């Protein structure tokens, strides 16, 4: 979890990055930008808002030989070691991005490199480096009084409500390639930003493992439990899975299967599905790990617990009390109507 409420922008360097393949130039500022309170407040909202609104999926610097050979990792480490060098090092960051700006789809734009203090991550206060890029320009009107009339002046600028690309690199977990958050509003060139410039991969921490394993379970429920059983059992499988994650601090696969799978015949199906699909979810050798509560809470919100019927009726299950659906909902077949039915038992209707 991150907290940017008390974060301060200690320095800001602004450069312009053209598209190298179109022979557009790079413009490097001689000195950092002199900030004032009003501009700082606007930039903090512009830079940080996307990270407050986005789910926290962390990355880390990587390299096929060793992370020390990742050029951006090397520059970032130098800045954290000597924060006063951030502006000079920001020119190297800009040049690195310029060298990767060679695909015709990549748009030119302004690059902002900022040194940040008082960032809270994993309940620890650290410094961070923000790298942001604005690409898309928008038309806007300015107004000017001229005698007895008002003139309309059409200008172009950056929309401060939408950051095009950005990352926050935290001075945290250096040995593992630092913890990094990234956003990219323009999905057409994701490889350019994440792979070619940043050189990052998903940070394989407890949060990552918990999310990946629960997503794997969700797809198993949809692709195996639903065809083998029915929609109710698909919902109930995920119901039990979420509750297993919620009530345990550590995941152990054998205990999970015994707790969550009611039908013993599905256990070998689960193991076969994992062998076949595990690489997709990056859980090949994952049989035990600490459970991240934040990831469980996020998953609970996203997973559907509703049975939609073709008669325009919905049955909503309760993820908090799964035993209610087990005890009080039955599925059957009506020979006379030639239709399935759900029989729901209750004592009285609840008032809103």
Instruction: Give the pLDDT confidence of 198-225 residue by residue, as tens digits.
Output: 999 989 888 899 999 999 999 999 999 8
pLDDT higher than threshold 70 for residue 86: yes
**How large a percentage of the chain has pLDDT more than 90?**
58
The pLDDT assigned to 318 comes to 64
Instruction: Give the pLDDT confidence of 118-136 residue by residue, as tens digits.
Output: 999 988 999 999 999 999 8
The pLDDT assigned to 262 comes to 82
Specify whether the CB–CB gap between 170 and 84 falls below 8 A. no
Specify whether the CB–CB gap between 176 and 196 falls below 8 A. no
Residues 6 or more apart whose CB falls under 8 angstroms from that of 311 comprise: none
Instruction: Give the pLDDT confidence of 286-328 residue by residue, as tens digits.
Output: 999 999 888 888 877 777 777 788 888 887 776 556 566 667 7
The pLDDT assigned to 307 comes to 77
What stretches of the chain show up as alpha helix (H) in DSSP? 37-53, 71-81, 86-99, 190-191, 206-220, 226-228, 231-247, 253-260, 266-281, 293-302, 322-328
- Can you read off the two tokens belonging to residue 91? 């020119």
Angstrom distance (rounded) from CA 239 to CA 233: 9
């Amino acid at each position: 979890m991150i907290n940017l409420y008390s974060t301060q922008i200690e320095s800001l360097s602004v450069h312009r990055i053209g598209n190298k393949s179109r022979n557009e130039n790079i413009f490097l500022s001689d000195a950092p930008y002199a900030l004032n309170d009003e501009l700082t407040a606007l930039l903090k909202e512009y830079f940080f808002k996307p990270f407050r609104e986005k789910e926290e999926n962390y990355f880390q610097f990587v390299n096929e030989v060793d992370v020390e050979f990742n050029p951006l990792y090397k520059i970032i480490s130098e800045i954290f070691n000597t924060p006063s060098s951030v502006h000079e090092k920001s020119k190297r960051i800009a040049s690195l991005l310029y060298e990767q700006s060679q695909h015709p789809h990549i748009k030119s734009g302004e690059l902002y490199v900022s040194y940040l203090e008082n960032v809270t991550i994993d309940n620890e206060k650290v410094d961070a480096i923000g790298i942001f890029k604005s690409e898309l320009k928008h038309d806007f009107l300015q107004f000017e009084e001229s005698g007895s009339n008002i003139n309309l002046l059409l200008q172009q600028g950056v929309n401060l409500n939408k950051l095009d690309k950005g990352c926050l690199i935290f001075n945290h977990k250096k040995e593992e390639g630092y913890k990094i958050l990234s956003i990219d509003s323009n999905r057409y060139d994701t490889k350019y930003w994440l792979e070619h410039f940043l050189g990052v991969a998903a940070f394989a921490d407890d949060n990552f493992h918990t999310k990946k394993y629960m997503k794997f379970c969700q797809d198993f429920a949809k692709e195996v439990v639903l065809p083998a059983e029915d929609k109710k059992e698909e919902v109930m499988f995920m119901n039990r899975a979420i509750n297993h994650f919620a009530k345990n601090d550590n995941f152990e696969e054998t205990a999970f299967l015994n707790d969550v799978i009611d039908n013993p015949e599905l256990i070998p199906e689960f193991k076969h599905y994992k062998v076949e699909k595990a690489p997709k979810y990056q859980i090949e050798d994952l049989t035990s790990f600490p459970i991240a509560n934040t990831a469980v809470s996020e998953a609970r919100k996203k997973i559907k617990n509703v049975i939609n019927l073709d008669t325009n009726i919905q049955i909503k299950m309760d993820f908090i009390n799964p035993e209610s659906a087990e005890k009080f909902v039955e599925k059957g077949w009506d020979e006379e109507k030639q239709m399935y039915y759900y029989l729901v038992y209750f004592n009285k209707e609840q008032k809103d």
